[in-house]
Structure 1
C-alpha cells in the first residue's frame, strides 16, 4: 500500500504552470492542513505528555530519533530546550540517521540502515525513565524502526510520530501519534506540511512537558538560560512582569541571583535574599507558586 505522503496531490497536477501569486497561495493554504492534523491528534499528544512527565521528573532523558527532515526537526526541538527552559543538554539527545554529516548533506543509505539505528540508540544507554520520540513522515524508515526496537527492549517510553496512518512506527511505539497530512503539493516533499505538522507536534509536546515540570510560572518562561544579550533583556522583562518591580530592581536582583529568573521572582516577591529564595525553590521542587507560599 502506497504511503499517503507519497501520492501525487490530486488537486494540482499543473502546479508548474501556476503564476507566482497562485503558486504561493496554494503552498501556504496547504500548510493549514498541518495544524489540523496535529489538532486531530491532540488526545494522543496529551497522553504522551502525561506518561512522560513522571519519567522525566525521575531523571529520564528525551531521546529524539529521525532521518532527513524528521531527524533535523527532532534535533531542533532538543537543542532549543536549553536556552528556553535551562534543560540540561545531556538530557535532550537527538539521533539523526547519518550522524552530523546528515545535518547539512544527504548521507546515502543512512535512513535505510535499521541495524545502525539500533546501534546508535544502544550507544546512549537507554533506561526505563527515558522517553524516546521516533519520528518518520512515512512511518516506515528502517533507521527509526531499528532504534525503536532497541528502545522498546530497554523499557523506555516510546512515542511514535508519523504522517501516515497504520504506519509501522506507530504500531511499534507504546504511544502512537498519527499526523495525517495526506499528499504534498509537491509530490513526496515531506519537508512541507508533513514537516510542519511534526514541528507543531514536537513543540507542543516538549513545551507541555516543561510546563508540567514547573519550568513556567503563569505563562512566563521563568527558567530560560540568558545566553545572549536578547535573552538577558528578556530575563529582566520577565522578572519585572512577574513582580511589578522596576527595571533597575529587577536587574540588580537578577545579578545577585546569577540571572536565574525563578530565584529573582521569589526573592523580590518574598523580600528575601537569593540564597533563601534558592533554598525555597529547592524544597518546592522548582515550583515558583509553591515557593512563594513558603
Structure 2
C-alpha cells in the first residue's frame, strides 16, 4: 500500500510539473487539426514554425557567451560535449557528426552523448532519460576535464539524465551550458549559461520534436559554426578546412580555391595537389607564393588562421 501511495504522490507531482510547462500547453485556437484541409494544415504549421527564429534571437546574449566559452576551451585543447535524450540527444549527435567533414576537426573534438547509447539514436530506449547515474557514467567514460564544455539539451528543461550530467560536469570544472524550451528550467539552473528558447505550445501539444527541436538545431548550429569561425576554420565566409571525402566535396574544394584565389581551375587543382588536398594550404600558397612546407609552418604558427598566415608571409 505504501508503494502505491508513493507512486501516486510522485505521479501527481510530475503531472503538476508537466502541466506548468509551455511545451506541454494546449491552445484553444488550434481547434481540431484533423478537420482542416491539407493546405490549411501546411499554412498553420508553417505559421508556428516562423516563431522559432524570433525566440532564438531573444537568446542572442547567452548564445554569444556560450560561443566565447566554447572557443576558449577549444583553444586549450578541450572538447564540446552534447548530452541529451530522445530528439534533443539526436540533435547533439547530428551536430557533432557533421563537424569533421565540414571543418576538418578531429571526431573527438565535438562529441554527442545520448541517453540509452547508440541504440537510442534510431530507436526509443524506454526510461533512459530518467537514469541519472547513466549520465555520470557516460561523461566519466569520456574522461571529462575542466577544459571541456558540456551542453545539456532538453526541451522540457527537466530531463533527469541531462540535469545529472550538467551537475556532474560543473563539479568537474567543465563549462556547462543548457538549451531548454521553457523559462526557469532545471537544466538552466544547473548550468553556468542558460539558453532558454521559449517557442510556445507545440503544433501538436507536447510534441517537442517540432518547434523545440527546430530551436535546438538552430542553437547548436550557432555554437559549432560560430566557434569554428573564431578558430579560423573559415575565410571570407567559406569553409576552408573541409575534408574532401567524396566527389562533390573534391569539386567544391577546387571551386573554393579557384574563386577565393582568383585562379583558374587548372591552377587551383595543381595547388591542391601540392597541398595534399588542403584547401587552406592551397589558398595560402597561391596568395603568397610560398611552397607547401613554408605554408604549413606558417599555418601552424598562426594557430590555423589563414588570414594571419597570409599576413605573416606577405
**TM-score of the superposed pair, with normalisation by structure 2:** 0.92
Name the CA distance, whole Å, in 2 between partners of 1:241 and 1:200: 29
Name the CA distance, whole Å, in 1 between partners of 2:297 and 2:222: 31
1:29 to 19, 22, 47: 47
SS of 1:89's equivalent in the other structure is coil
Pair member with larger Rg? 2
Matched, 1:77 2:77: no
Matched, 1:120 2:138: yes
SS of 2:242's equivalent in the other structure is coil
Q: Tell me the residue number matched to 1:106.
A: 124
Q: Tell me the residue number matched to 1:207.
A: 225
Matched, 1:224 2:224: no
Q: CA deviation at 1:23?
A: 0.4
Does the aligned pair in 2 maintain the 1:122–1:150 contact within 8 Å? no
Does the aligned pair in 1 maintain the 2:84–2:113 contact within 8 Å? yes
Does the aligned pair in 2 maintain the 1:61–1:129 contact within 8 Å? yes
Name the CA distance, whole Å, in 1 between partners of 2:198 and 2:242: 33
Name the CA distance, whole Å, in 2 between partners of 1:195 and 1:44: 19
Q: CA deviation at 1:36?
A: 1.0
Does the aligned pair in 1 maintain the 2:85–2:114 contact within 8 Å? yes
Matched, 1:18 2:36: yes
Q: Tell me the residue number matched to 2:300.
A: 282
- In the alignment, structure 1 segments of 5+ residues that lack a partner are none
Name the CA distance, whole Å, in 2 between partners of 1:80 and 1:235: 17
Mean alpha-carbon deviation: is it higher for 116-125 or for 7-16?
A: 7-16
Q: Tell me the residue number matched to 2:78.
A: 60
Name the CA distance, whole Å, in 2 between partners of 1:9 and 1:78: 35
Name the CA distance, whole Å, in 1 between partners of 2:260 and 2:241: 13
SS of 1:90's equivalent in the other structure is coil
Q: RMSD of aligned C-alpha atoms? A: 0.9
Q: CA deviation at 1:258?
A: 1.3
Name the CA distance, whole Å, in 2 between partners of 1:94 and 1:202: 11
SS of 2:143's equivalent in the other structure is coil
Does the aligned pair in 1 maintain the 2:70–2:80 contact within 8 Å? no
Name the CA distance, whole Å, in 1 between partners of 2:74 and 2:290: 31
Q: Tell me the residue number matched to 1:166.
A: 184
Does the aligned pair in 2 maintain the 1:9–1:186 contact within 8 Å? no
User: Could you give the per-residue CA deviations for residues 177-227 of structure 1, whole angstroms, max 9, x where no partner exists?
Assistant: 011011001011111111000000110111000001111111011011111
In the comparison of the two structures, how many residue pairs are matched? 294
Name the CA distance, whole Å, in 1 between partners of 2:183 and 2:46: 24
Matched, 1:179 2:178: no
Name the CA distance, whole Å, in 1 between partners of 2:190 and 2:88: 18
1:49 to 67, 85, 93: 67
Q: Tell me the residue number matched to 1:192.
A: 210
**TM-score of the superposed pair, with normalisation by structure 1:** 0.98
SS of 1:11's equivalent in the other structure is helix
Name the CA distance, whole Å, in 1 between partners of 2:171 and 2:86: 25
1:147 to 160, 165, 190: 165
